[in-house]
Amino acid sequence: MKKRELTRRLCATGLAAALAFSSTGLMALADEKEEEQMVELEDEIELEEGGSEEEEEQEETLQEVKEEKEEVVEKDTKEEVQEEKEEESIEAVNLEEKDTELYVGSDWAGANVSAKTEKTKVTFDVKNFGWANSEWGIQYIIKDLGLNNNTTYTVEFDITSSVDKDIFLKLDDAGGFIAEKVALDAGKTKHYMKTVSCGEFSAKPYLFFALGQMSGEEVSRSGEVILENLVITEGEKEPEDINDDDKKKGKEYDFKKDNSQYDAADPGKLKAGYELIWSDEFDGNYGDASVDKNTGLNLDNWAYQLGDGSTDCGNYGWGNNELQCYTDRPENVGVNEDLNDDGKGEGVLRITAKREDGYTYKSESAKNYTSARLRTTRPTEALFDTTYGYVEARIALPATAGAWPAFWMLPQSTTVYGNWPVSGEIDIMETCGAFTDKGNDVACGTLHWGTPTHVYKGSGYVNLDSDYTYFHTYAIDWQPGEITWYYDGKAINTLSNWESAIPGASDSLAFDAPFDMPFYMLLNLAVDSGQFGGSVNKARFEDDINMYVDYVRVFQKEDGYPDSVTRKASDNAADNWKDYAGINQIAELTADNLETCEGGGMSDSSADKGKWYLSYQQDAIDAKLSKVTQDGTDWAKVEITSPGSQDYSVQLIGHYDAKAGYVYKVSFDAYADGGMVGKSVNCDSKEWKGWSTYGVTQAKLTKEKTHYSYTFAQTEDFDNCRIEFNLGAQASGNVYIANPKVEIVDPAALGSSEKARTPLSDGNMIYNGSFDQGDNRTGYWNVVDGTSLTVPRYTTEALKSDDMMVIDVASKSNYEAISDGKKYFERRAEISTTGKDGATIYQPDMKLSADKYTVEFDMYSDSDSAVKAGAYTLTGTGNVVKLGKELGSAAAYYKKSDGVRHYTLTFETKEDMEDAAVAFTFAKGTKVQLDNVYMNGANQKSNADEHPLKTDSSYRGDNGGGVELPLVNNDGAVTMSGITSGGNWYSPQLASEDFELVAGQKYVLSFDYKLSGNQNNTFQYIIQENGGSWHVYADGPETVSFDSTKTDDGFDHYEKKFVADASISSVHLNFGFGNSGANGDAAFTFKNAKIDLVKQTAVVGEADNENVADSVFYDKESTAPAKPSNPGNSGSANSPSSSGSSNSSNTVANNSKTEIIAEPVVPAAGNTSSLADVKKSTKSASTKVNKAQSVSEEDADVEETPADDESEMASVEEDDTVTIQSNDETTIADEATPEAADESAVEERGFNPIAIIGIIAVFAAATAGTLIYRAKH
């Protein structure tokens, strides 16, 4: 080969090839090829023979090649540099030079954030993302972006959050060319890029970053968000394809393998002592049942729930920020399919979660996952529900991040106790598809209820014998007052200590409530956003994941269940409790034993039992702990600035050694200031391995120092058990705690609590007037000898058309044998007597001032009757206590034809009494039902603010998205101008400052208003919780029409009364104009806006008072009613009425003053509580359980005289009044003559000559001044 040929070949191949490449990588390959060719060339030259002239030519050739190479390299390098310069010319936006705005909705959203800008980077230090369920509570707005109409742009940036968080991105205020959520994983930088074709920009062509707390996210969290490298370019840019291992599918059940050694066996349909009342075996053998032809699901057993919760229940993401849309398609549900290719169905239910980007249901937002949620009820029909039973399913679960499977139960009705959580939830099984520190072999069971806010208590995660991807049985044995979880037939947890209250109630509901109602079952496979299982369980999977259910079965005890139970200690309770009584098991609070630690800090296993620890999480790092001394008492002061996102974000923790078999009493004093006033916090006794709770109470904090206590039975030994005060996720403020005690007490005290007797939040002086609280639902009520007070859990007949009815499907075929399954839960007190006098029930320990009192109640009887309400002194010593002098009373007749009648009676007292009683007495020989008892005084100071919203309260204008709008206040008349109606009823809106409403209180809202400009003369308003769950009062939003002709000054007037159904401290009044048809020049003006308390009093003389002779109520040989000695118990809702204990041995002395000899005095509530024996109902549907058993015949010393068939009543002419005065304690007069009582019968009120003769006789006997008779004739 000639030298020049070699040179030409070298240049044509190596250098030409190098020139053809522009990237660095390809250039390197060209250089490598060229070097190889240079070596070949040099080798060939060495082989060539020739003289020095040839050598010179060779050197020249090599030199030429090197120079040509350098030229090519230089040229390519210049091209690369030019490309880099061109790329660098697309710079990230310098945010320091831009017009930006940081909006913080601190007032309406609770947000707290600051921002630091450094060129292309902005860092948001978020103290509180807010609690308003609105991303617009925090907005970062970039305004001057120089965007052109009708142009395609690519927007990209990097964003990092320290917490799992969604943000909302919007390009252009009106156009919304980009309007979507962006999901952020804690600690991970997300590169966002989207190309969008933009049309005409609006007046605000801004880029909005909405960072506030979104619906479904935890409230009041803190964290840091960093936004950087924002680049906006014209044209389209392809996103990078990033591989993510988290998208991989995990293990799940393989039907082609023999899994028998790992599967829990099917225990079968026979269970000793139980009978099977319902099941679905998912084998397709459904006979004539209605079956979905697409999925094979038995629609007589199950119904689908569809969507993301927005349409079904108005709760986006089903309240948990879940990522799926539920469907009824075969892609997500299947029954008895061939899953191992053997041509036979497997006899299981399949629920599949499937990746389907952009899936939509109706008008809901698009979802990227679908799945299924099945329940045994429809919105208007109970398919199957049950009260009590052994409920079991055999299930195999998927082990993929994002899986959130559950088998659980919800109440069939929320009308009895209220909405979730007060109404209750039973989670039989739930778990996650992925855990950071656990294998796929754990599951948990949990109870949810409320007091009235959410409280939950569960087993903690429990290990299974094999992975949950295999079949395991998950069950509960649900009995009155006790629920035990069974996994694979083994008991893993028992709960028997929960307390739930209706807002405004005097105390907790009956011990077994709210889990004494029909519940239905649910099966679902949710897709977790990370809210349940944390970031490790956040869904990213792309392949289908499956949950398989072999069967669902429900058993009930063959002997049935008791109608009600009282809380009592285990039969194995330690009997040496007296050895430890009065000894505080936990450290006192001192300045020397307070320690602060982050994130729990201390190791619970080695924590010093002599210390109290302040524990805070990363979202509440500014919490502080110190000691303050007030009036000689040391208080632990917990300062909360950032409340965090969880109740455990801020905790005060002490430790003690818990011992099985004992009943413990936990007590403490607490109060609060700042934003913590009015907030409810939990105090738990809890173990720290599985985080199961032994005892829990909820304390509503006030400005006043208040004593709290609760009791619970300890079921296992646990060293360094926690007492924890969970103070997070509420508000900023200070909480003060003193005198914490953990004591071993008498097992009989189980269920007792301590609470001062003051009027309720609605002003009611009667506790448990609704007869649904305390043991047997008779808490706070006592009875006299012979009176029976019973409150059935349900009845099978309605007395009114609006009585609360729930279908209990199981009762159609079980021991109750209720043909239509209808149960009525009105829960009226059933009152009767076996004595000569009329039945009497009463409440003692009442502080009564001289006042005019109004008593209201509902009454029913199946015969003519009468009722008397009165106030009495309490007298007696030792074991004998009785009703003494009558302070005032009022009475009225009842006619059988009245049905359920509402009464308003009024009476007046003339003296103050520190210890009085209010009693209700009914006509002799009659049985009555009583409900909804209310009493207050005309001069009684209300516990609620009488003017929560005042005429001078402040207001704020808002466009409905958080942007403030100006208001003008002209001498108290507030005007919003320039109104343009938006897409929501509250766009735009006017919102008041926050105020507090109290459950049960009646209020009246009023304001004057006018509208002007182009609009449709309507607007809307709502009275609503400001944040939290956005609770709505009075069924708002309410539409109001404007009529300018009603008043001379152009203002119309509006007024509406309503009853608050919840006690909430952060309520506001909102006026909304989204549906007002306003187009820019409309204005709204209002003045005199206020909400006033309506006091529930009636004027004496305007009530139902009638003249009813005492002979209607009392036998001639009797005088004042008496009461058994049990004074302390009246302070606790869980104390039974005096005749409610089956082991009582009261003795009745039949003399002029009936004295009831009671059992030994029971110590004050909170120390002990009598325990009533459980009486079980039988299979007979007609059998009723008497939960407040009156004194039995064999227990009484007095000979019983049967009541007459007809009630004995005396009538007094309507215009007559009888006033009886006496210096003696007994002021209930005997009849003037026996004949008057004997001949008196229930008759129409009018002239009765026999009664008049009797009165004249009384008058004749009154000459000594003992009795005074006054008649109008």
pLDDT higher at 600 or 707: 707
Query: Does residue 1047 have a pLDDT over 60?
Result: yes
Domain edge (last residue) among 237, 260, 286: 237
Q: Does residue 300 contact residue 247 with C-beta atoms inside 8 Å?
A: no
Query: Does residue 762 have a pLDDT over 80?
Result: no
| Residue tagged 């008041």 (tokens) | 992
Percent of the chain predicted with pLDDT > 90: 46
Does 69 share its domain with 129?
no
* Reported confidence tier of residue 281, pLDDT bands at 50, 70, 90: very high
Query: Does residue 235 have a pLDDT over 90?
Result: no
Measure the N-to-C terminal CA separation of the chain; round to a whole number of Å. Answer: 152
pLDDT, position 236? 59
pLDDT, position 30? 41
Does 401 share its domain with 507?
yes
Question: Of 875-879, 934-938, 1228-1232, where does mean pLDDT reach its minimum?
Answer: 1228-1232
* Reported confidence tier of residue 145, pLDDT bands at 50, 70, 90: very high
What is the full DSSP assignment across 121-132?
Answer: EEEEEEEE--SS
Work out the mean pLDDT of the chain and round it to a whole number. Answer: 78
User: Residue 251 has what DSSP assignment?
Assistant: B
pLDDT higher at 103 or 1129: 103
Does 1130 share its domain with 1059?
no
* Reported confidence tier of residue 1064, pLDDT bands at 50, 70, 90: confident
pLDDT higher at 376 or 1223: 376
Query: Does residue 1008 have a pLDDT over 80?
Result: yes
pTM of the model: 0.60
Does 1090 share its domain with 1104?
no
Question: Can you tell me the mean pLDDT for 458-462?
Answer: 83
pLDDT in tens, 167-199: 999 998 876 788 888 989 888 999 999 888 788
Does 375 share its domain with 470?
yes
pLDDT, position 69? 52
pLDDT in tens, 507-516: 566 667 889 9
Any domain includes 807: no
Query: Does residue 618 have a pLDDT over 80?
Result: no
pLDDT, position 698? 77
Query: Does residue 803 have a pLDDT over 60?
Result: yes
* Reported confidence tier of residue 417, pLDDT bands at 50, 70, 90: confident
What torsion, rounded to 10 degrees, do the Cα atoms 17, 19, 21, 25 define? 90
Token pair recorded at residue 547:
């949950």
Any domain includes 1170: yes
Q: Is 476 exposed, middle or buried (0-12, 13-18, 19+ CB in 10 A)?
A: buried
Question: Can you tell me the mean pLDDT for 645-658?
Answer: 88
Cα distances from 273 to residues 393, 468, 486, in angstroms, run: 19, 29, 17
List active site positions: 425, 430
Any domain includes 810: no
Any domain includes 1038: yes
Q: Domain limits at 434? A: 274-557
Query: Does residue 79 have a pLDDT over 60?
Result: no
pLDDT, position 552? 98
Does 1083 share its domain with 1107?
no
* Reported confidence tier of residue 1155, pLDDT bands at 50, 70, 90: very low
pLDDT, position 690? 61
* Reported confidence tier of residue 140, pLDDT bands at 50, 70, 90: very high
pLDDT, position 802? 87
Query: Does residue 12 have a pLDDT over 80?
Result: no
Domain edge (last residue) among 1064, 1079, 1094: 1094
Token pair recorded at residue 950:
């005042």
Does 325 share its domain with 457?
yes
Rounded to an integer, what is the distance from CA 1254 to the centroid of its chain?
A: 61
Query: Does residue 897 have a pLDDT over 80?
Result: yes
pLDDT, position 342? 94
CATH number at 1063 reads 2.60.120.260
**Which residues are paired to 1058 by β-bridges?**
1003
pLDDT, position 887? 93
Q: Does residue 352 contact residue 371 with C-beta atoms inside 8 Å?
A: yes
Any domain includes 140: yes
Question: Can you tell me the mean pLDDT for 290-304?
Answer: 97
Any domain includes 758: no
Any domain includes 1269: no
Does 689 share its domain with 787?
no
Cα–Cα dist 843/862, whole Å: 25
Any domain includes 122: yes
pLDDT higher at 138 or 69: 138
Cα–Cα dist 703/1103, whole Å: 38
Does 100 share its domain with 32?
no
Number of domains in the chain: 6
User: Residue 537 has what DSSP assignment?
Assistant: G
Cα–Cα dist 229/120, whole Å: 6
pLDDT in tens, 197-219: 788 888 889 999 999 988 667 77
| Residue tagged 């050598």 (tokens) | 55
* Reported confidence tier of residue 1213, pLDDT bands at 50, 70, 90: very low
Buried b (16+ CB within 10 A) or exposed e, 977-999: bebbbbeebbbbbbbbbbbbbbb
> Phi then psi for 526, rounded to 5 degrees?
-80, 160
Q: Does residue 1097 contact residue 1003 with C-beta atoms inside 8 Å?
A: no
Q: Does residue 903 contact residue 1104 with C-beta atoms inside 8 Å?
A: yes
Query: Does residue 880 have a pLDDT over 70?
Result: no
Does 871 share its domain with 982?
no
| Strands 482-487, 490-495: pairing kind | antiparallel
pLDDT in tens, 845-867: 888 999 999 999 999 999 999 99
Cα distances from 465 to residues 124, 267, 473, 490, 690, in angstroms, run: 47, 16, 11, 11, 17
pLDDT, position 1152? 28
Cα–Cα dist 1089/972, whole Å: 10
pLDDT in tens, 779-791: 889 898 889 999 9
User: Residue 221 has what DSSP assignment?
Assistant: -
Does 532 share its domain with 444?
yes
pLDDT higher at 231 or 677: 231
Does 295 share its domain with 432?
yes
Domain edge (last residue) among 58, 88, 118: 88
